[in-house]
Amino acid sequence: MGALTGLLMGVALVASLPDPAQEARARNLEREIRCVQCVAEPIAQSNAPIALDMRRILRDQIAAGASDNEVRAFFADRYGEGVLYRPRLNLQSWALWAFPFVLLAAIIGFLAQRAKARAAAPLTVEDAQAEAALAALETRQE
Amino acid sequence: MSVELGHFAAILAFALALAQAGLGIFAARRGAGAQAGVSRLAEAAFLLVAVAFASLAAAYIRSDFSVANVAANSHVAKPLLYKIAGTWGNHEGSMLLWCLIAAGFAACAAWFGGSMSPSLRARAIGVQGAVSALSLGYMLFTSNPFARLNPAPGSGADLNPLLQDPALAFHPPFLYLGYVGLSFAYSLALAGMIEGRTDAAWARQMRPWALAAWIFLSIGIGLGAYWAYYELGWGGWWFWDPVENASFMPWLAALALIHSASAAEKRGALAQSTVLLAITGFCLSILGTFLVRSGAITSVHAFALDPERGLVLLGLMAVAAIAGFGLYAWRSGNNDAPPAPFAIVSRESALIVNNLFLGVAAATVLFGTIYPLILEAVNGGQISVGPPYFNATFAPLMSMAFLALPVAPLLAWKRAALAPILQQLSVLAALCLAIGALTLAAFGAPIWTAIGAGLGAWLVLGTLYELLQRGNWRAGPGVFWRRLRARPASAWGMTLAHIGAGVFLLGATIETGMRLEATISLGIGESAAFYGRSVRLEAVEQGSGPNYALERGTVTIEKDQRVLAQLKPERRFYPVAGMPTSEVGIGNRGFSDLYVALGEPNAGADGVRRWTLRVYWNPLIDLVFWGVGLMALGGLVSLTERRLRIGAPAGRRKSAPASAPVAAE
């Protein structure tokens, strides 16, 4: 394991990068970038000619020393933000990224509030009934 | 049987469903006569929709191309199974299936709902009648599957070839059984609110129906994932595609619903959230159908698109939501069952935590799925929300829920002590940390894969520990055996389902994080190395199936001169639809797969014809499907619970303590 896909006689459609760490990064990025010609597929999954080209360009970028974010920016500049399956944090997408955390915090806040209110009024219904019965008994005795 | 008869039956069923709704909702307290009348109406409506469905299915089997729907979606040369599956493999036919199941659930309530109080049953069947009437009305007025063509074409346009597959033939019916099953949970929730009694007895009625819907959804989604795995040729089984998300959201809601209902049934707690989840679940079902059918969101799986009819579906969802949440806002204060108190550390609280994470996870999936739509409507911005987003948000949310999961069944109801339980589980937690660390160090897995593996082990081992604990295993095998035999079916179901969740998580994270893949191009007789193995294309033969032409490769995968697998991936071409599909070759080794998809041939620069092959090593992939299967099985086992089938005499039990003070006076 760990050895790269060396080729004996076959021809790889997109040549793997010689550095395994770089190739692993390339494979991850391939799944994050949308094939611009397809309905809804990342370039990793598509056999469309443009997807092959994009996979090649992606590897060229990584080989030239670009970071993951630089590669993302490269594709977003050319094809628009819609090419990225992982929307970059910006004015368009902050609500998307904030949503789960805000919702979680809001619900936890609500539950904590309710628990506190319940703790402040420890009287359960049974307690209330018991107390009412006791009070009624006392009134009758008087 | 002509489709005109079916059309007539559907119209008649529409009228009966309206009567069923009116009588059920407004006359449920008018005595046994009215209540029995509602049941008879439900049975009759179901039979009529069944006649309508049978007439369309018969037209498909006969290949009656004078029916527009058959002409558009079938072909004489198609195998019988896919002719029948064609009935629901299109928009109009699938709506008829939806109506059949909606009416079927009402009829089932009439036949098997004897444990409900008569007025609750009549009201639930009544609300279900309204659901049926809306569905039938939608079908008859916008999506009539019975329309004729004149002149009739001599041949049909064929069913989408991707759908001509055994798993996918049964995928839509299961999914619809789940979606529409949630409609009955919705009906029960509304009926309970109208009655003003969403108490423990009501929750006991809710649980089996919600459970059944959840089981059907699990099987449907599992079949879909399995189909995507072996048919689409990408080596994956889940793509966070909008259409997949559409079925996943109701599944999450149904999962929260069954947990919530169990607390409501056993303790009278969480009744409000049970009601809300039942309403939400059904609304998400309709929304899912809208997303799939309307083409509002681009998806690779969108098979039948029509924006206008989609909008009507959105309107129907609005009606269901307004009726449900409106009734909740109006009646929730009217509930005569007081909420049962519980401490912050208790099983009830653990179930609230479960609902919290499942709910936020479902909301996140929903928001991520429709966010591109919202953004485009707001400022025309174009973004794509794909797997990286869902993995980054959904996975941590569920991880927190999974972290808490093994603790929850060990907590006592009402008031529990957390410290001793955490102490008991500490050895197990250390073991799972070690498993995660081992995955990281020995196999070089990514960090989140290691976390997933540790969590998966935590779920499986933690659930087994609970089983040992319940059986009081320290007291010896005799006691253990007796205790386990006395363990109720619903508890066994929980154990199985929780183990299934762990098994699924192990498979899903290890497969996703440690999958090996390569795209190579081979001529006949050529071979290439694949991570220490060699892949050789032996031969490619041409052939034909019943309604397609095919090219079948023979691929041998060897390691150290030893044959690991000989696979026969196929490429098919369906001339009528003009579409290619693939049948991948899978070599199973333990729980892992060697997986090869055959691509298109190209003539290389040297003039040799070479085929593109996608080769994958998918470690522990089978655990994904075993896990889903175990979860569904757990649901089924839980459904056999005697208490659910017979139903406790709720009315009498309730009245007993109420009469006590009277006697005391």
Q: What is the 3-state secondary structure (H, E, C) of B104-171?
A: HHHHHHHHHCCCCCHHHHHHHHHHHHHHHHHHHHHHHHHCCCCCECCCCCCCCCCCCHHHCCHHHHHH
Let me know if residue A108 belongs to a domain. yes
The pLDDT score that the predictor gives to residue B453 is: 94
Q: Is there a single domain that holds both residue A129 and residue A104?
A: yes
- The model's confidence at residue B290, banded by pLDDT at 50, 70 and 90, is confident
- The model's confidence at residue B661, banded by pLDDT at 50, 70 and 90, is very low
Picking from B300, B388, B529, the nearest residue to A86 by CB comes out as: B388
pLDDT at residue B303 is higher than 70: no
pLDDT at residue A6 is higher than 50: no
**Which tens digit of pLDDT belongs to each residue from A90-109?**
888 999 999 999 999 999 99
* CB of B388 less than 8 A from some CB of A: yes
pLDDT at residue A136 is higher than 80: no
Let me know if residue A130 belongs to a domain. yes
Q: Is there a single domain that holds both residue A103 and residue A74?
A: no
Angle at B176 between CA B270 and CA B109, to 5 degrees: 60
In the structure encoding, which two tokens stand for residue A98, read together? 């904030």
Residues of B in contact with A11 (CB under 8 A): 520-521, 604, 610
* CB of B299 less than 8 A from some CB of A: yes
Let me know if residue A9 belongs to a domain. no
Q: Is there a single domain that holds both residue A120 and residue A78?
A: no
Kindly give, in sequence order, each residue whose CB lies less than 8 Å from that of residue B126, ignoring residues fewer than 6 positions away.
B20, B21, B22, B23, B24, B25, B26, B28, B38, B187, B191
Q: Is there a single domain that holds both residue A70 and residue A24?
A: yes
Q: Is there a single domain that holds both residue A24 and residue A59?
A: yes
Q: Is there a single domain that holds both residue A77 and residue A25?
A: yes
Do the chains contact at A115 and B531, CB–CB below 8 Å?
no
Residue holding tokens 């009830």? B348
Lowest mean pLDDT among A44-48, B59-63, B360-364: A44-48
CA-based nearest residue in chain A for residue B362: A100
Let me know if residue A1 belongs to a domain. no
Q: Name the minimum distance, in Å, from the CA of A135 to any CA of chain B.
A: 16
- The model's confidence at residue B415, banded by pLDDT at 50, 70 and 90, is confident
Q: Name the minimum distance, in Å, from the CA of B463 to any CA of chain A.
A: 26
**Which tens digit of pLDDT belongs to each residue from B217-232?**
999 999 999 998 988 8
Residue type, B300: V
CATH number for position A31: 1.10.8.640
Residue holding tokens 């049962």? B340
pLDDT at residue B519 is higher than 70: yes
Do the chains contact at A80 and B382, CB–CB below 8 Å?
yes
The pLDDT score that the predictor gives to residue A92 is: 86
Residue holding tokens 């290691």? B450
**Which tens digit of pLDDT belongs to each residue from B355-375?**
999 999 999 999 999 998 888
Residues of A in contact with B383 (CB under 8 A): 81-82, 84, 87, 92-93, 96
pLDDT at residue B335 is higher than 70: no
* CB of B359 less than 8 A from some CB of A: yes
The pLDDT score that the predictor gives to residue A4 is: 30
pLDDT at residue B658 is higher than 70: no
Q: Is there a single domain that holds both residue A79 and residue A98?
A: no
Region B620-631 average pLDDT? 96
The pLDDT score that the predictor gives to residue B248 is: 96
Q: Is there a single domain that holds both residue A103 and residue A129?
A: yes
Residue A29 belongs to domain spanning: 20-83
Give, in order, the Cα–Cα distances in Å from A128 to each of A115, A131, A134, A135. Answer: 19, 5, 10, 10
Share of chain B above pLDDT 90, in %: 59
pLDDT at residue A124 is higher than 70: no
CA-based nearest residue in chain A for residue B522: A10
Q: How is the beta sheet containing B592-603 ordered, strand by strand?
A: A11-12, B516-522, B609-618, B592-603, B585-589
Residue type, B579: M
- The model's confidence at residue B9, banded by pLDDT at 50, 70 and 90, is very high
Region B367-388 average pLDDT? 88
Picking from A5, A31, A92, the nearest residue to B518 by CB comes out as: A5
CA-based nearest residue in chain B for residue A127: B341
- The model's confidence at residue B1, banded by pLDDT at 50, 70 and 90, is low
The pLDDT score that the predictor gives to residue A127 is: 56
Let me know if residue A12 belongs to a domain. no
The pLDDT score that the predictor gives to residue A130 is: 58
Do the chains contact at B599 and A47, CB–CB below 8 Å?
yes
Predicted-complex ipTM score: 0.85
Do the chains contact at A40 and B241, CB–CB below 8 Å?
yes
Q: Name the minimum distance, in Å, from the CA of B45 to any CA of chain A.
A: 41
Region B251-257 average pLDDT? 97
Picking from A13, A86, A125, the nearest residue to B612 by CB comes out as: A13
Q: Is there a single domain that holds both residue A101 and residue A79?
A: no
Picking from A5, A82, A108, the nearest residue to B382 by CB comes out as: A82
- The model's confidence at residue B305, banded by pLDDT at 50, 70 and 90, is low
Region B85-92 average pLDDT? 88
pLDDT at residue B299 is higher than 80: no
- The model's confidence at residue B122, banded by pLDDT at 50, 70 and 90, is very high
Q: Is there a single domain that holds both residue A72 and residue A99?
A: no
Residues of B in contact with A87 (CB under 8 A): 383-385, 389
The pLDDT score that the predictor gives to residue A131 is: 56
Q: Is there a single domain that holds both residue A33 and residue A78?
A: yes
Let me know if residue A15 belongs to a domain. no
Residues of A in contact with B252 (CB under 8 A): none
Do the chains contact at B521 and A3, CB–CB below 8 Å?
no
CA-based nearest residue in chain B for residue A108: B356
Do the chains contact at B531 and A11, CB–CB below 8 Å?
no
**Which tens digit of pLDDT belongs to each residue from B531-555?**
899 999 999 999 998 889 999 999 9
Give, in order, the Cα–Cα distances in Å from B395 to each of B30, B330, B392, B632. Answer: 51, 37, 6, 21
- The model's confidence at residue B331, banded by pLDDT at 50, 70 and 90, is confident
Do the chains contact at A103 and B364, CB–CB below 8 Å?
yes
The pLDDT score that the predictor gives to residue B656 is: 37
- The model's confidence at residue A10, banded by pLDDT at 50, 70 and 90, is very low
Residues of B in contact with A13 (CB under 8 A): 519-521, 612
Do the chains contact at A47 and B612, CB–CB below 8 Å?
yes
Let me know if residue A2 belongs to a domain. no
- The model's confidence at residue B95, banded by pLDDT at 50, 70 and 90, is very high
Region B386-403 average pLDDT? 94
Q: Mean pLDDT over all residues of chain B?
A: 88
**Which tens digit of pLDDT belongs to each residue from B586-617?**
999 889 999 999 988 887 778 888 888 889 99
User: Quick one: which H or E segment has residue B552?
Assistant: strand B549-559
Residues of B in contact with A80 (CB under 8 A): 382
Number of structural domains found in chain A: 2
Residues of A in contact with B382 (CB under 8 A): 80-82
CA-atom Rg of chain A in angstroms: 30
CA-based nearest residue in chain B for residue A27: B517
- Among A83, A113, A129, which residue terminates a domain? A83
Q: Name the minimum distance, in Å, from the CA of B73 to any CA of chain A.
A: 22
In the structure encoding, which two tokens stand for residue B113, read together? 């709902």
> Of how many residues is chain A composed?
142
Let me know if residue A6 belongs to a domain. no
Residues of A in contact with B300 (CB under 8 A): 38-41
pLDDT at residue B325 is higher than 50: yes
**Which tens digit of pLDDT belongs to each residue from B550-583?**
999 999 999 988 999 999 999 888 888 777 888 8
**Which tens digit of pLDDT belongs to each residue from B267-282?**
888 888 999 999 999 9
